[in-house]
Every structure is written in structure tokens, then in C-alpha cells.
Structure 1
């Protein structure tokens, strides 16, 4: 080819491959027999060889044969000088079979990703349904029973004798415990089935967790990119992960100050929880980790996420979680 991509010489193998005669090929431009969407590939080759003076350049492109069928070709072109003219010595290799195999593999991978996606969504939704069932039982069954016990105790009338006073004190103490049990069953029910996530979205639901934490310690929340809408299953998973992290912080950290950062960008979903608590030896985490961390790891395995825990005894803990946001984009 010359600098204008005009064909000036061909061999018999090319004639046989494409089905055109030498007369039909000579004098025509190579871009005349490529699919229009691949014309830019040849313009790039032209630029790199004749303008940027690269000694060689390669592209994959589709060429239209004489019979109107299309083949994939690997193009390898090098510059050479001939009678004062700079030409592109070009080899065309038919790679249609390889491309077909690559497409088959890609389709198989897509099917596998779709299956994993369906499995992930089904797993998370099943967990949420079970949580909802337990929450309803707590609220409608256990909570009502506890309230009934308290009402019965309220009806007990005692006189002012010493024994009766002792019993009265015990009953009042028991009633106080029942009130706390009722509150706790309601809290657990709320945690199991948070209507705020469904009604107001992920950011408001996470802010609700932060508000609850702020009653115990100095807690700050930062958000970035949460205007990006995520699939429901993914929002549920993120909410549960943050909920587990918050629960672990309250139960184990002994912190006075903590922060949560949740950000979503083009590639990743990032969760970072940091506290100034007692910290721990990370080398023992595999032995000592509780249900909360195990639950988080299970979700991250399904979501293809990463967990990093950095902690030093007496100097607090930083937990970072990274999830691929493109997991949602590829399948939705």
C-alpha cells in the first residue's frame, strides 16, 4: 500500500482469500473493502506509519470478501522504502476462527456472570425475606407476649406489709426489665426489616444507622456519589454490611469517636469505618472473628468485594471495603 492506503501490489494468496481479482484490487483503497465501522482503524494505521513514522503497526479489522461475506483479519504492516517512495508492506492473516472462539468464550463468561448475578440476588433476597419473617414474629408474637405479661403485672395489688413490699419491689423491677425487653424486641425487629431503606433510599438508611450510633459515641458520616442508583439487592447488601460494621464498633471497639465514609464512583463502591478504640492484633483475626465479620465476608465473596482491616492495639481500627460498581452495570 502507499501512503493513501491504495493497493499497489498483491499476491495470489490474498486474491484467493478475498475472492477479488488482482485487477479489482490494484488501484483501489483498502478502506473500500472494510466494514465502515473499522475505517478508523485504518486511519490510525495510516497516521502511525506515515505521519508518526512508526516502523510497524498492527490492527484487527473486518474485511468484506467478493461474495459479501466478512472475515476478521489481523493486519501487520511495516514501512519500507522503494524507489524513493515509502510503502506499507502489509500481511493479512485470517483470524475469523479465533475470533469466533473468543466470542464463544465471551458469551460463556457472560452467561456465567448472569448466573452468578441471579444467584447473588436470590441469596440476598432470600436472606431479607427470612429477616422480614423473623421481624414480624418478634413484633407480633414475642413483643405482644411481653406486653401482655407487663399488663398482668400491672394488675397485681399488694398491701403495705414487709413481705408484700419486697414482692412489690421485685414486681416493679421485673416490669422495668419487661419494658426494656419490649424496646429491645422492637429495635431488633426494626434492624431486621428497615422500612427506611425501602422508603427513602440508601443514604437516608445509612444516616439512620449513624444517628443511632451518635447516641453512644461521637460519630460522623460522609457520603459521596450516592445520587447513583444501585440495584435493590446491592443497596440491601451495602446496608447490611454497614449495619454489621456499626454493631461491631459498638460491641467491641470501646471507642469515643468514629467515622463512616461511603462513596460510589464509576468503578468502585467504597466503605470505610474508622475508630479511636482499643484496637486489636490483626494476626489473630481469623481465629477471633465473630459472626459479624464472617457475615460481611460472606456478602463480599458473593459481591466480588475486598475487605481490609488495619488495627493496632490501643490505637484504633480502620476497616475498608471495596465493591465493584460495574458488577451492577454489566448486568442491569
Structure 2
């Protein structure tokens, strides 16, 4: 009798010990994931701060210098006597200078869009889609639902903006799409982002192996926002990405 009771007690202790070890292992895994996410978040935050600093340096520093050079050239033009060939070369140089200023502004704008800081996510995404449409690289249709009075924290807004930027770049460079749809919708505290294209698509099972497409960046950013990511795609039939987060 006492031997059987001891055996039952030992068995219960062993089961309890195994359960505790399992819980401990689970907690260690959770902490590891948390640590990785915190590290990733710190890296992405550092990247954003660096982008913001570079954008400001480009716009205010280099932009100011180039505008100053253009002003000096224009002032010189009135005081110079030039041959037709020299005048043509001078105009070409002025055009190149104008192109450089435009390109510098475009780069600075991509690094830290002014609309995002001043007017929020909805306006910034609308601007970004318009820029792509004007470039002729892709025909993008942008829709927003319930965003009229939405107040989205700037960190979340920047992260979502980068995700959409990455997804549309994929549509252009890798999927070779001709048309895309971007939808931003807010209902209560749920924010959803949908990006669809008519590109060549891929096998979702091989998502981790897809090279040079920045899927890691997208997944990391969604995880940082504690969101859900759903990717639907089949070779030859386009791609649909749905993201849902709590704001």
C-alpha cells in the first residue's frame, strides 16, 4: 500500500516537474522572441532617425547650396557676353543643375516624406501613390476608408508607410506589375492595409527563400506593430497582401 502511494506521489512529482520545465522553456522562448523584436525595433528606429537626419541635411544643406549656385549662375548670365555655342552649353548646365536639385529633393522626400510629418499617414500614402503614377512605373489606385479623423501615432504611421513603400517597390521591380491597389481602412481601433498587384506572383510557401525582396523587413515591421500579415499569391496571378494592426 505505502509503496504504491509513494509511486503515485513520485509519478505526480515527475509530471509536475515536466510541466514546469515545459512552461519554463516556453517562457525562455517568449523572452528570446521579445529580445529579438526589441533589437529589431531598435535597429529600425535607428534607421528612421538616420534617414530623418540625412533628409534634413540633404534638403537644408546641399539643397541650399545648389539653390545658391543656381542664383549665382542666373546673376552671371546677365553680365556675360557669350557665343551661341557657349550660351547653349550654359543653358545645358542650368538644366543639369535644375535636374540635380529635383533629384536631391526627391531623395530627401523619400527618406522622410514631409506630408507624413505634417499631414499624417493618409496624405503621405496618397502623395506616394501619385508620385508613382506620375513616374509611369505603375498605375496605382489609392483608397482610404474611415481615415478622416484618424489620429495615428507617428511611429506607427512611419512603419506602415515603409511597409507600403517596400510592397509597391516589389510590385515594380520584382513582380513587374502594371497596376496596383492600395487601401487603408480604419474601424474603431483596427487599422488594415491592403496592397494588391497584377504582377507575376510567386509561391507563398517559398516566401522565406524569395531573394532581395525585403520580405524580412516587412515581416519584422508587422511583428513590431504586433500585427497580422496575410500574403496570398500564385505564380502568374498577382499578389495580395493584407495587414491588420491595433492602433
Q: Normalising TM by the smaller chain, what interval?
A: 0.5 to 0.7
Aligned residues: 225
> Contact conserved, 1:281 with 1:311, CA < 8 A, in 2?
yes
Using the size of structure 2 for normalisation, the TM-score is 0.67
Partner of 2:215: 297
Using the size of structure 1 for normalisation, the TM-score is 0.53
Name the SS of the counterpart of 1:212 in structure 2. helix
1:202 Cα deviation (Å)? 2.9
User: 1:177 and 2:99 equivalent?
Assistant: no
1:208 Cα deviation (Å)? 2.4
Partner of 1:213: 132
Partner of 2:161: 239
Query: How do residues 1-332 of structure 1 correspond to structure 2 at under 5 angstroms?
Result: 96-154=16-74, 155-156=76-77, 157-159=79-81, 164-215=83-134, 216=136, 218-223=139-144, 233-247=155-169, 249=171, 253=176, 255=178, 257-262=179-184, 270-275=193-198, 279=199, 293=213, 296-303=214-221, 310=234, 312=236, 318-322=238-242, 325=245
Partner of 1:78: none
1:125 Cα deviation (Å)? 0.5
Structure 2 residues not aligned, in runs of 5+: 224-228
Structure 1 residues not aligned, in runs of 5+: 1-11, 18-92
Alpha-carbon distance in 2 for matches of 1:268, 1:140: 34
Alpha-carbon distance in 2 for matches of 1:286, 1:261: 25
More strand by share: 1
Range 173-182 or range 297-306, more displaced: 297-306
Alpha-carbon distance in 2 for matches of 1:101, 1:288: 37
Cα RMSD, aligned residues only:
4.4
> Contact conserved, 1:209 with 1:246, CA < 8 A, in 2?
no
More helix by share: 2
Greater relative contact order (CA < 8 Å, ≥ 6 in sequence): 2
Q: Give CA-to-partner distance per residue, 1:202-261, whole Å, 9 cap, x none.
A: 333222222323434653223467788877555433211212333455678473x43223
Q: Give CA-to-partner distance per residue, 1:159-191, whole Å, 9 cap, x none.
A: 3xxx61221122112212211221221121111
